[in-house]
């Protein structure tokens, strides 16, 4: 097999391929980059994504070349199509964190190396890989478990829910009115394999029976002007001891980070015994190792 595969959203993989990526996250194996370079482009700030991408690349024998929009603004200094064609000649792979998901589609339309979504307005599939890996390590397997999401059905939520659906998990979404999944999102979850998706505007209801409770910031990068309105709309959606108390005692708490203690999560939950968010962040590197190894396995690297 020798095909070019991109990773713009988690359902670019089949459920079997997703399971294989998760298997490869902690597998040992040879260096795959053989001293070649890997490009990582950032239009937005990053701690975990940049460091995990660079660390994974070096662990697999490659050299990361990270650059930001302040150095070379793709689509503004020169057209995205030219950038994708040029960078394809230098690097084994191109990762990009962008405001507009359409830029990833544009890069992928002409790149001759894999394009990886490092977060867009629509999805954060590398985060979802780490989230699924963390839950799999917690329970041994994902199928039959239930994940609850409290907050905005945003980029992180969309990728996580799709990955959970593909892994045979139940999905319970607790979103303020107007911030939940739309019909297209729900259709996509069904296509991904979701049997039953519960959507509620009451966090206590959403976490009932959940094995893991996830949340994220109320205003994502790029939504700063909406922050005040969102704070109002998300009142009552903080994952605090009371909300965690409505979930089973065995439920774990997860957050992609950065976290705003006192807003979407209380300090007691973020730093409490049920929290797995630091291990989840560490898994960002293993998730990329699994993804890169899988791309190598299918002949894309």
Per CB under 6 A, residues contacting ligand CP are 46-49, 119, 127, 256-257
List residues near ligand NVA by CB under 6 A: 119, 154-156, 216-217, 220-221, 256
Is the peptide bond preceding residue 258 cis, with omega within 30 degrees of 0?
Answer: yes
Task: Please state the closest distance from residue 220 (CB atom) to ligand CP, in A.
Answer: 10
Residues facing residue 215 across a β-bridge: 150, 255
Q: Cα dist. 19→23, 80, 150 in Å? A: 6, 32, 25
Nearest to ligand NVA of 157, 252 (CB atom): 157
216 in active site: yes
Find which of ligand NVA, ligand CP, none residue 158 binds, CB within 5 to 8 Å per kind: none
Q: Which does 134 bind (CB under 5 to 8 A by kind): ligand CP, ligand NVA, none?
A: none
Active site (annotated) includes residue 284: yes
CA 170 to chain centre: 18
The partner in contact with residue 47, picked from ligand NVA, ligand CP, none with C-beta cut-offs of 5 to 8 angstroms by kind, is: ligand CP
Output the residue with the shortest Cβ distance to ligand CP. Answer: 49
Residue 223 known to be catalytic: no
Picked from ligand CP, ligand NVA, none, the partner binding residue 274 (CB below 5 to 8 A depending on kind) is: none
Cα separation of 113 and 90, whole Å?
Answer: 10
CA torsion sign for 87, 93, 98, 100 is: positive
What are the b/e assignments for 197-218, b being 16+ CB within 10 Å?
A: bbbbbebeebbbebbbbbbbbb
In whole angstroms, the minimum distance from the beta carbon of 277 to ligand CP comes to: 10
Question: So which residues are the catalytic ones?
Answer: 97, 124, 127, 216, 256, 284
């Amino acid at each position: 097999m020798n095909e070019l595969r991109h990773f713009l959203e988690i359902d670019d993989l089949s459920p079997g391929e997703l399971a294989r990526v998760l298997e490869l996250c902690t597998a040992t194996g040879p260096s795959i980059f053989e001293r070649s370079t890997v490009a990582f482009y950032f239009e937005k700030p990053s701690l975990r994504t940049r460091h995990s991408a660079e660390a994974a690349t070096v662990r697999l024998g490659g050299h990361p070349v990270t650059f930001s929009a302040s150095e070379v603004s793709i689509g503004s200094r020169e057209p995205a199509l030219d950038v994708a064609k040029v960078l394809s000649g230098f690097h084994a792979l191109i990762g990009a964190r962008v405001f507009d998901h359409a830029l990833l589609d544009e890069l992928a339309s002409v790149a001759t190396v894999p394009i990886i979504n490092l977060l867009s307005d629509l999805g954060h599939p590398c985060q979802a890989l780490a989230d699924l890996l963390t839950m799999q390590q917690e329970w041994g397997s994902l199928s039959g478990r239930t994940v609850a999401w409290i907050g905005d059905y945003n980029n992180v939520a969309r990728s996580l829910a799709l990955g959970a659906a593909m892994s045979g998990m139940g999905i319970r979404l607790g979103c303020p009115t107007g911030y939940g999944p739309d019909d297209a999102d729900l259709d996509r979850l069904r296509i991904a394999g979701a049997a039953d998706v519960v959507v509620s505007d009451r966090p206590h209801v959403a976490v009932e029976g959940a094995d893991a409770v996830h949340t994220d910031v109320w205003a994502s990068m790029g939504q700063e002007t909406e922050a005040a309105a969102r704070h109002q709309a998300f009142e009552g959606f903080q994952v605090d001891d009371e909300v965690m108390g409505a979930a089973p005692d065995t439920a774990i708490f997860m957050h992609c980070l950065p976290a705003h203690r006192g807003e979407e999560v209380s300090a007691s939950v973020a730093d409490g015994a049920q929290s797995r968010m630091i291990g989840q962040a560490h898994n960002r590197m293993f998730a990329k190792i699994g993804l890169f190894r899988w791309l190598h396995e299918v002949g894309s690297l």
